[in-house]
Amino acid sequence: MPEITLNAPALFDLSGRVALVTGAGSGIGQRIAMGLAQSGADVALIDRRTDGGLAETANFIAGTGRRSVEIAADVTSQTALSDAVQRAEAELGSLRLAVNAAGIANAAPCEEMDEAQYQTLMDINMKGVWLSCRAEARAMLAHGKGGSIVNIASMSGVIVNRGLNQVHYNASKAGVIHMSKSMAMEWVDRGIRVNSISPGYTATPMNTRPEMVHQTKEFESQTPMQRMASVDEMVGPAIFLLSDAASYCTGVDLLVDGGFCCW
């Protein structure tokens, strides 16, 4: 029998890798950024919020002994994103990992929604992910060391949330899932893997928006596991997809939804 060189725990180790996370000042992106640092990565933190969220993430990362850089940037600006990637590489090293979690949600009946509400959400949730991936992949293709990108989509890209009037949000997330698969195929022979995570209802500030708070109990009862996810529960799936443990996974949409889409 040939020598077995398998080292399963090492597959999940991100030591020495540089990561970039958008939406790193709150919720899912913030907790994933923290988890990547605990797994050994140095992390560039991007968010448009300037209320201390990025600093909170950076302080946590400093406590892990890893490095981070805080960058206030809007994911709808290609200039801001290319500057952010450039700064991340200048301060931390060649970009190998990226998680694109920045996004917004809101609701209005389709027939009443105005164009600005639709367009603003699409610009952030869909074009913002495309611009982020493009800036990240340009750096990864240039250094030639390969890379792994995870886009945060939603189970709303697969199902329609009962009781929530959000055609634009649902469409944007379906777009993120298919855009991720499409980019995965464009870069499959150039060392970049692209996957998405589709969370179910997750306890974050996004779910404190007015149209959600009264529905939380209902969402929990609609979920087979009978509860919302905590942000911590998005960290393991992100580490898995980013790491060498998922070296044969590309174009995957990983539903992390407490079983929601089974019913």
Does 28 participate in binding ligand NAP (rule CB under 6 A)? yes
When the beta carbons of 48 and 66 are compared against ligand NAP, the nearer one is 48
Convert 97-119 to b/e letters by CB count within 10 Å (16 or more is b): bbbbbbbbbbbeeeeebeeeebe
Query: Beta partners for 195?
Result: 150
Does 202 participate in binding ligand NAP (rule CB under 6 A)? yes
Q: Considering only residues 105, 140, 194, 235, which one is a binding residue for ligand NAP as defined by CB under 6 A? A: 105
Residue of closest CB approach to ligand NAP: 27
- In the residue annotation, 248 being an active-site residue is answered as no
Which of 252, 128, 120, 262 has its CA nearest to residue 198? 252
Asked if 159 and 203 count as a contact pair (C-beta separation under 8 A), the reply is: no
Q: What are phi and psi of 146, to 5 degrees?
A: 85, 175
Stretch that binds ligand NAP, among 26-34, 81-89, 114-122, 140-148 (CB under 6 A): 26-34
Q: Which two tokens stand for residue 37?
A: 């640092």
Which of 61, 65, 98, 64 has its CA nearest to residue 81? 98
Mask for 39-78, x = binds ligand NAP (CB under 6 A): --------xxx---x--------------------xxx--
Contacting residues toward ligand NAP, per CB under 6 A: 22-23, 25-29, 47-49, 53, 74-76, 101-105, 124, 128, 152, 154, 199, 201-202, 204-207
The catalytic site residues sit at 169
